[in-house]
């Protein structure tokens, strides 16, 4: 009806209990049944029945199939690929059942759709779903944070990536409170991430640091709490300086690298304290940032709860294929920061304009071919690799641009062309700016 699919019978739950066997069964969508289950045992026009045993009208099935074909997004299968299809927001079908498979998904939103899935999400091993696109709050000025948070929520963002070290969690909290006050969203529909800073790694400081973040954000819990760096520094009391930053005592006027005071706190001790936060309900998920394979292996030896996320620098100049492969094999989701590479680091003197990925000819050419901006092409590249992203912006039009990534796809050839830009170029490296090597 006017290119819309309407349910004219009672809605059938996706998971149902078989009254005969007591087993849980997956009750697939109309389109999956009609277009995907065609074999010698099945008449597609009789593939779908209603709860009372009557057949769905064949013409209606054909109309739905046509609608799906018109709106479909197709993914080519390769060995080892896994595609999670969220049945809250998609109808899906697999064709064919022999040889290379193809999944067709028609994405739609209804009044009853879960608000947390306004942008597609990735399922974590905890069972929670993290939105694939969030707003990174690093380097967003305090004075604009509240307004940006509200505008982002209006634009469809449901994930906000924060950290004690960013120094703007109070202002982010004001923006969240304003959005709740305006009834734009409710807390349970948002995904809020924050991070434990280096000076709070000792077990007696982890809980206090988390509570401080919760107070600043004016929240009762975090959806995800991450260890910011695998680096432990000397404790700095909140009342002395917050956020503590890298230098133990900036007033000493020491050379930067000599002003950083490291302490011996095993990651296992910090992680055990993070697990306590989980048990207490202060956080729903725990993970890490800036961990390489060796550090993850060490952590996994003693962890009672595996990290669900590893957030690292990811962009076409730093594809981190081996790390992604390791994390995937161990059920650790990858979130990439600095998604466009150099832009965030130019003003810090850690990159030059010539380092911009979006200025590469191959990216420019692909953007023209798909009718999107260069930034959208690079961000889409991240998503098709199976990683979530947290691009930063203070511009309203770019808020919309950075989340408008789900109405196009890159071909395998285009993906390969962008990946070929890899040069293992890392912009955010403590081994360079702080003389604390953590990467090989």
φ, ψ of residue 226 to 5 degrees: the values are -120, 145
Burial of 299 (0-12, 13-18, 19+ CB in 10 A): buried
- Cβ(284)–Cβ(224) below 8 Å: yes
DSSP 92: E
Confidence class for position 28, pLDDT limits 50, 70, 90: very low
Structure tokens at 265: 């706190």
Q: What is the pLDDT of residues 186-230, one digit of tens each?
A: 999 999 999 999 999 999 999 999 999 999 999 999 999 999 999
Percent of the chain scoring above 90 in pLDDT: 62
Tokens of 345: 């680091």
Whether omega before 96 lies within 30 degrees of 0, making that bond cis, reads yes
166, 200, 248, 317: the active-site residue? 166
Here the tokens at position 3 are 């290119």
166 included as an active-site residue = yes
- Go through the chain and tell me how many residues it has: 440
Q: Which residues, 6+ apart, have CB-to-CB distance to 5 below 8 Å?
A: 64, 67, 108
49/228: higher pLDDT: 228
Please, what's the largest Cα pairwise distance for the chain? Answer: 81
* Mean confidence (pLDDT) of the chain: 83
Q: Which two tokens stand for residue 1?
A: 């009806």
Q: How many angstroms separate the CA atoms of 367 and 372, rounded?
A: 5
pTM for the whole structure: 0.76
Residue 9 burial (CB count, 10 A) = 10
The dihedrals phi and psi of 284, each to the nearest 5 degrees, come to -100, -25
CA 183 to chain centre: 24
Q: Per residue in 109-142, pLDDT tens?
A: 333 333 444 578 888 989 899 999 999 999 999 9
Question: At 145, is the pLDDT very low, low, confident or very high (cuts 50, 70, 90)?
Answer: very high
Q: What is the CA radius of gyration of the chain?
A: 24
Confidence grade of residue 32 (pLDDT, cut at 50, 70, 90): very low
């Amino acid at each position: 009806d006017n290119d819309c699919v309407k349910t004219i019978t009672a809605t059938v739950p996706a998971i149902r209990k078989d009254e005969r066997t007591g087993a849980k069964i997956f009750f697939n969508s109309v389109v999956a049944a009609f277009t995907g289950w065609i074999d010698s045992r099945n008449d597609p026009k009789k593939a779908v029945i209603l709860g009372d045993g009557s057949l769905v009208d064949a013409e209606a099935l054909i109309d739905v199939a046509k609608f799906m074909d018109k709106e479909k997004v197709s993914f080519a299968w390769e060995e080892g690929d896994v595609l999670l299809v969220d049945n809250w927001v998609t109808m899906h079908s697999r064709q064919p059942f022999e040889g290379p498979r193809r999944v067709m998904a028609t994405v739609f939103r209804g009044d009853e759709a879960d608000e947390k899935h306004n942008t597609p999400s990735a399922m974590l091993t905890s069972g929670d779903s993290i939105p694939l696109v969030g707003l990174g709050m690093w380097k967003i000025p305090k004075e604009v944070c509240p307004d940006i948070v509200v505008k982002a929520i209006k634009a469809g963002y449901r994930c906000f990536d924060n950290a004690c070290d960013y120094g703007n969690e109070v202002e982010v909290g004001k923006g969240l409170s304003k959005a709740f006050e305006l009834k734009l969203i409710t807390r349970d529909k948002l995904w809020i991430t924050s991070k434990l800073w280096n000076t709070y790694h000792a077990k007696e400081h982890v809980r206090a640091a988390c509570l401080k973040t919760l107070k600043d954000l004016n929240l009762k819990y975090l959806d995800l709490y991450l260890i910011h760096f695998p680096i432990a520094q000397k404790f700095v009391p909140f009342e002395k300086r917050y956020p503590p930053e890298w230098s133990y005592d900036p007033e000493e006027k020491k050379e930067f690298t000599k002003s950083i005071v490291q302490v011996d706190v095993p990651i296992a001790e910090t992680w055990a304290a993070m697990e306590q936060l989980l048990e207490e309900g202060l956080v729903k998920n725990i993970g890490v940032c800036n961990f390489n394979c060796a550090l993850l292996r060490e952590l996994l030896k003693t962890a009672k709860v595996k990290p669900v996320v590893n957030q690292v620098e990811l962009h076409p100049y730093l594809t981190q294929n081996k790390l992604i492969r390791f994390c995937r094999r161990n059920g650790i989701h990858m979130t990439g920061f600095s998604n466009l590479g150099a832009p965030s680091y130019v003003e810090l003197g850690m990159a030059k304009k010539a380092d911009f990925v979006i200025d590469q000819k191959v990216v420019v050419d692909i953007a023209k071919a798909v009718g999107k901006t260069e930034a959208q092409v690079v961000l889409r590249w991240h998503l098709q690799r199976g990683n979530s992203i947290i691009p930063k912006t203070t511009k309203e039009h770019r808020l919309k641009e950075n989340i408008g990534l789900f109405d196009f796809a890159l071909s395998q050839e285009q993906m390969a062309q962008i990946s070929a830009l890899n040069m293992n170029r890392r912009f955010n490296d403590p081994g360079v700016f702080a003389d604390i090597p953590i990467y090989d």
